Amino acid sequence: MTALKDMPISFPGLFGDWEFNPDPIAIHIGHGIYWYGIILAIAMLAGLLLCMKQAKRFGLTEDNVLDMILWAVPCCIVGSRIYYVIFYLDLFRNADGSLDWGRIVAIWDGGLAIYGTVIVGILVAFIYTRVKKLKFGAMTDLCVMGLLLGQCIGRWANFINREAFGAETTLPWRMRLWTSATQYIEVHPTFFYESLWNLIGLLLILFVVSKGRRFDGENTCFYFLWYGLGRAWVEGLRTDSLYLFDWTFLGQPIRVSQALSVLLAVAAAALLFYNIKIKKHDAADLLVNQVALAAAAEDAAQTGESVEPAAEAPAQQETVPAPESAAAQAPEETKGEADHGDPH
């Protein structure tokens, strides 16, 4: 089911007859500058700024974040598109069955899959941390916060494009979309569900999970658990899911994102249980604590070097005459004063 992109959006259960009709094209120059791209750019920038601000909490630097993002952004866009095209390949074929490469690269029309972004992002982070000799878990713990913020903002691009909505509903917050000039549907605003879910997850990581981290990688596991549970629920409401070819489970087609979400959530829960309840972790193993310890040792070494010259001063003062000499001079000075008499 597809909604028309040039027809208004409304929420009749909340705002009555008020309608919102955003043009998918923000600036009509050449092919056009689409809101979809603008919102995704804002999402990436916001995620980047958050990661840069939080970098020190994980033993990393702003330069580490910037270096990796230069590789991650283009790779993740390509990975996200490839993931989407693979599972929607029939949409990108010509009448003769050949691939329409023009439509494949037209990402401004929508069609980016978040799990493609996540998979490629993890690969980039793994390679980068290997090359730079950084802890992979510390880097991903930082990056998932930026990812959640980016997802929270990025879902509103789906709103502008009238896509990623759910099944029909009569709930008060239902969203009305038009499928033709005379027909409309009232559906779950699943883009908003996921945006809100990601915002709550981000706040939990920022103010709860990060403050009590026991091992590098804990934020990452929590992200996959939290996002996996939320995405599995939201995906069950959507009508435009990617399906795993023609495979079925209990007579129902398998939704790719829903199945992957469940698997990731279960795996993340198992890793959290193992690392928290079974495996003992030393706080000193966290990268941030290792960096702090190294910095303290360096400061101590520098302080020691500056103190060494002062420590040599007493040795130089040993050439001062012994007390006996001073005592021997005292009577002579007294005698001299007696010879000259009282100055008065």
Token pair belonging to 218: 């804990």
Q: Which one has a higher pLDDT value, 115 or 320? A: 115
Amino acid at 43: A
Q: How many CB atoms lie within 10 A of CB 145?
A: 24
CA atoms 42, 46, 52, 58: torsion sign:
negative
Domain containing residue 159: 23-173+190-279
Could you please report the per-residue DSSP string of 20-62?
A: E---SEEE-STT-EEHHHHHHHHHHHHHHHHHHHHGGGGT--H
The reported pLDDT for the residue numbered 72 is 94
In a domain, 185, yes or no: no
Structural domain includes residue 206:
yes
Would the pLDDT of 186 be above 90? yes
Tally of domains within the chain: 1
* Residues 279-298, mean pLDDT to the nearest whole number: 93
pLDDT over threshold 50, residue 341: no
| pLDDT grade for 11, boundaries at 50, 70 and 90 | very high
Q: Let me know: does 110 contact 25? Beta carbons within 8 Å.
A: no
User: At residue 269, what are phi and psi to the nearest 5 degrees?
Assistant: -65, -40
66 falls within a domain: yes
Structure pTM?
Answer: 0.83
Q: What are phi and psi of 297, to 5 degrees?
A: -65, -40
Is 263 a member of any domain?
yes
Which residues make Cβ contacts (< 8 Å) with residue 281, sequence separation at least 6? Answer: 214, 215, 275
Q: Is residue 295 part of a domain?
A: no
88 in a domain, yes or no? yes
In a domain, 329, yes or no: no
- CB neighbour class for 328 (10 Å; exposed up to 12, middle 13-18, buried from 19): exposed
For the stretch 139-164, pLDDT in tens is: 999 999 999 999 999 999 999 999 99
- 255 forms bridges with which residues in the sheet? 243
The shares of helix, strand and coil residues in the chain, as percent rounded to the nearest 5, are 65, 10, 25
Listed residue (216, 218, 227, 237) closest to 263, CA to CA: 227
Q: Is residue 321 a part of any domain in this protein?
A: no
On average, the pLDDT of the chain sits at: 87
- Write b or e for each residue in 290-326: b if 16 or more Cβ atoms lie within 10 A of its Cβ, otherwise e: ebeeeeeeeeeeeeeeeeeeeeeeeeeeeeeeeeeee
| pLDDT, tens digit, 9 for 90 and up, residues 215-274 | 999 999 999 999 999 999 999 999 888 777 677 777 778 888 899 999 999 999 999 999
Residue 305 pLDDT? 56
